[in-house]
Chains A and B, each alone.
Chain A
Amino acid sequence: MKHSISITVNGEKRSNEVESRLLLVHFLRDVLGLTGTHVGCDTSQCGACTVSLSGQAVKSCTILAVQADGTDVVTIEGIGADGKLHPIQEAFRSHHGLQCGFCTPGMIMAVKQLLERYPDPTPEEIRHQLDGNICRCTGYHGIIKAIEAAADEMGSKPNPRHKQTAAS
C-alpha cells in the first residue's frame, strides 16, 4: 500500500508516494538521490545514517519515511549555508577528523546536535555524546579535536582547555 507523504528536506518541500515499509534513509537516498546519508549497519549502532529531524538527531535507518511525514529534515547536503561549509565541516577537514569519510556525514550531523546541547563541551561530554556513532578509521582523536575547534569557532571565545594545531 502506498502513502502520500510530504517532508521538508534541506528547506525544500518534497511530496511523494511511498510504500509503508520504506525507511527514511532509503527515501532520502533512493527516492531523492541524497546519497550523502549512509547505511553502515542494520541495527542502529553505527550512526552513519544520522540526520536532523525537526531539530533532533535521529538514525534515519530506524524510522519509516511515513513517520517523517510533515517533518523538517536536514541532511549533510543541507548543513552548510550560502555555498559555505558549516563550521563543523570545516573543523573536520582542518583536524583530520575523517579518513574514508563513510561515517563522516552521520558523525557531523550528530556533532551538530552535540554542540547545540553542549556549546562548550568537556572531552568526557564529547566522548559520551558520540556513543551512537562508530568510526573505524580515525581512532576518534581527530574527531574530538575537530569538535573542540568547532565549539570554539561557533562559540564566542576559544576555550583555553583546547590545544589546537590545525593543518594549513
Chain B
Amino acid sequence: MINEIISMNGYGAYVWLAFLFTLISFITLYFVTKLQLSKEQKRFASKFGSLNIEKARTARSQNIIREILSNTSNI
C-alpha cells in the first residue's frame, strides 16, 4: 500500500515533486508574510512606546490604533 502510494505506477517522482513544490511555496509565502507583519507590529510598538502621554492618549482615541495595540502582544 505504502509502496504503491510512493511509486504511483512510476509517476511518483513527478507527482511528489509537484506537491512538494506547492507545499514549500505555501510555507515560504506564509512565513515571509508573517515576518513582515510582525516586523511592522514591532515598529508600531516601539513608536507608540516613545510617544509622550498626551500624544499616546490622542493615538489611543483612534479605533484602529486600539485594535493594533490589542493585537500586538509585545506592548
- Tell me if chain B binds chain A: no
Where the two chains meet, the residues of B that have a C-beta atom closer than 8 Å to any C-beta of A are: none
Chain A residues within CB distance 8 Å of chain B: none
